[in-house]
């Protein structure tokens, strides 16, 4: 059935539902009197056959007689509506009655015509109006469905964000609480070991390590706040990249040692003096976050590989691991704030799930790109960062 505005040149299929053959002939003649007649008329007299025909939606408009033997055209319209059979309908009756007119409109009829005063002009105008109104309603329903689907997706996204936020707050509470127990224990040991300098010194170093962990967590949270408020700024200078690599690997080594993971650095002697312009602190943050992330998701005795190369005016860095991998449905959200790989996978090193989001933002601020690939769970992952050697000044 055509649900758009009628083409002036196209033939329109009209279905007449009427149990009186004389009325059928009269309607046919009236249609033929319409100038440039382009109507093909089909006739059905039985209620059940008419209902089936309406539900096939093969006609552009349906003319329904109010009297259909023991039943009425209104009953037919209501039955069609229950079966979700939609079509533009014009109700025909032998007498004008206000109650029938109102009932026809309520049942979904587009118009109500009295047979006694029916002319070709009135019928043609009513058909044209019914088809146009039906097309407009169908278009409106389509837009409503599309908008409803958009809102459903938006609600789902909001629920996902809310779930992520709640998970993050739970993780944050856990991560902040972890250093507190060793600190409290160390303070109590220091109180009891007043005459044991060695024990006091050991406890002091434990407190320093745990405080450093707290400071790192708080710094990450501050960076998240700066990203959200677009307050992250770079202080750029010319840097020797090999020196950045050396410092980043040294910083990450305690994480690798704790996880029992080997870090394999593939040095590039040809790039020993290669310089890059960027923010030293933030470039180190990019490298250490990638290395720490790789160690976090790699099981003991696994391997992480770090290599880099120069391609024209770009520097490409790859961090590849033999870890737990990334499920295909989580690849797209790896760089989202608070994103974590499935909680059932190994997360022995902890973390807030913001490291990779920081990496992406910092790489982009340096004019570069970051990408991730994985063949699936248990197949490891590879992160590739591409940075311009001389980015435009911020």
The residues, any chain, with a CB within 8 Å of residue 134's CB and separated by 6 or more, are: 3, 86, 87, 88, 110
Higher-pLDDT residue of 241, 333: 241
pLDDT tens-digit readout, 254-271: 889 989 999 999 888 888
Same domain, 172 and 113: no
Residue 7 has a pLDDT of: 54
| Domain-terminating residue out of 146, 167, 191 | 146
CATH number of 215's domain: 1.10.287.130
Mean of all residue pLDDT scores within the chain: 85
pLDDT tens-digit readout, 277-321: 999 999 999 999 999 999 989 999 999 999 999 999 999 999 999
pLDDT confidence tier of residue 196, bands split at 50, 70 and 90? confident
As a whole-number percent, the residues of the chain with pLDDT over 90 amount to 29
The conformation of residue 329, written as its DSSP 8-state character, comes to G
Enter the pTM of the model: 0.56
Same domain, 369 and 261: yes
Q: Judge whether 394 lies within some domain.
A: no
- Rounded distance between C-alpha atoms, residue 183 and residue 210, angstroms: 7
Whether residue 392 is predicted with pLDDT greater than 90 in this model: the reply is no
Looking at 69-119, list the stretches that DSSP marks H as alpha helix, in order from N- to C-terminal side: 73-82, 98-107
CATH number of 240's domain: 3.30.565.10
Same domain, 181 and 49: no
Backbone angles phi, psi at 239, to 5 degrees: -130, 145
Whether residue 219 is predicted with pLDDT greater than 80 in this model: the reply is yes
pLDDT tens-digit readout, 52-87: 888 888 888 999 888 888 888 888 888 888 887 778
Q: Give the pairing type, strands 381-388 and 314-321.
A: antiparallel
Q: What angle do CA 351, 355, 357 make, to 5 degrees?
A: 135
Looking at 33-119, list the stretches that DSSP marks H as alpha helix, in order from N- to C-terminal side: 47-56, 73-82, 98-107
Residue 304 has a pLDDT of: 96
Residue 311 has a pLDDT of: 93
| Domain-terminating residue out of 146, 177, 209 | 146
Which of 289, 244, 282 has the alpha carbon at shortest distance from 365? Answer: 282
Whether residue 243 is predicted with pLDDT greater than 90 in this model: the reply is yes
pLDDT confidence tier of residue 393, bands split at 50, 70 and 90? low
Residue 309 has a pLDDT of: 94
Whether residue 8 is predicted with pLDDT greater than 90 in this model: the reply is no
Q: Which domain holds residue 89?
A: 12-146
Same domain, 240 and 380: yes
Higher-pLDDT residue of 244, 8: 244
Whether residue 2 is predicted with pLDDT greater than 50 in this model: the reply is no
The residues, any chain, with a CB within 8 Å of residue 185's CB and separated by 6 or more, are: none
| Domain-terminating residue out of 172, 206, 228 | 228
Residue 349 has a pLDDT of: 47
**Weakest-pLDDT range from 108-117, 240-249, 340-349, 375-384:** 340-349
Backbone angles phi, psi at 244, to 5 degrees: -65, -40
Same domain, 384 and 240: yes
Q: Judge whether 3 lies within some domain.
A: no
Same domain, 254 and 348: yes
pLDDT tens-digit readout, 17-38: 998 898 889 889 988 888 887 8
The conformation of residue 377, written as its DSSP 8-state character, comes to T
Please state the domain count of the chain.
Answer: 3
Q: Which residues of 124-139 are buried (b: 16+ CB within 10 A; e: fewer)?
A: bebbeebbeebbeeee
């Amino acid at each position: 059935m055509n649900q758009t505005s009628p083409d002036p040149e196209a033939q329109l299929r009209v279905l007449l539902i009427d149990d009186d053959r004389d009325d059928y002939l009269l309607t046919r003649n009236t249609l033929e009197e319409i100038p440039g007649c382009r109507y093909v008329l089909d006739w059905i007299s039985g209620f059940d056959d008419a209902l089936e025909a309406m539900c096939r939606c093969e006609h552009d408009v349906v003319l329904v007689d109010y009297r259909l033997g023991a039943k009425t055209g209104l009953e037919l319209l209501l039955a069609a509506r229950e079966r979700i059979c939609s079509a533009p309908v014009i109700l025909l009756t032998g007498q004008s009655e206000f109650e029938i007119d109102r009932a026809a409109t309520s049942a979904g009829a587009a118009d109500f015509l009295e047979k006694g005063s029916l002319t070709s002009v009135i019928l043609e105008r009513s058909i044209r109006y019914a088809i146009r109104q039906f097309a407009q309603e169908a278009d409106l329903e389509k837009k409503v469905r599309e908008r409803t689907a958009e809102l459903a997706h938006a609600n789902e996204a909001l629920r996902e964000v809310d779930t992520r936020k709640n998970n993050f707050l739970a993780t944050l509470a856990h991560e902040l609480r972890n250093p507190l127990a060793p600190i409290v224990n160390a303070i109590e040991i220091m109180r009891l070991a007043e005459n044991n300098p060695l024990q006091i010194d050991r406890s002091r170093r434990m407190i320093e390590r745990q405080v450093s962990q707290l400071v790192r967590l708080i710094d990450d949270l501050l960076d998240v706040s700066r990203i959200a408020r677009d307050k992250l700024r770079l202080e750029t200078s010319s840097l020797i990249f090999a020196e950045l690599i050396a410092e980043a690997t040294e910083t990450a080594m305690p994480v690798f040692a704790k996880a029992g993971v080997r870090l394999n650095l593939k040095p590039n002697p040809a790039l020993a003096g290669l310089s890059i312009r960027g923010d030293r602190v933030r470039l180190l943050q990019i490298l250490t976050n990638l290395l720490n992330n790789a160690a976090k998701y790699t099981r003991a005795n696994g391997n992480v590989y770090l290599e880099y190369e120069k391609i024209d005016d770009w520097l490409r860095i790859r961090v590849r691991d033999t870890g737990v991998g990334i499920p295909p449905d989580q690849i797209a959200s790896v760089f989202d704030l608070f994103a974590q790989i499935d909680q059932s996978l190994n997360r022995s090193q902890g973390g807030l799930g913001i490291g990779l989001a920081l990496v992406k933002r910092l790489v982009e601020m340096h004019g570069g790109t970051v990408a991730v690939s994985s063949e699936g769970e248990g197949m490891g992952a590879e992160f590739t960062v591409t940075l311009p050697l001389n980015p435009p000044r911020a």
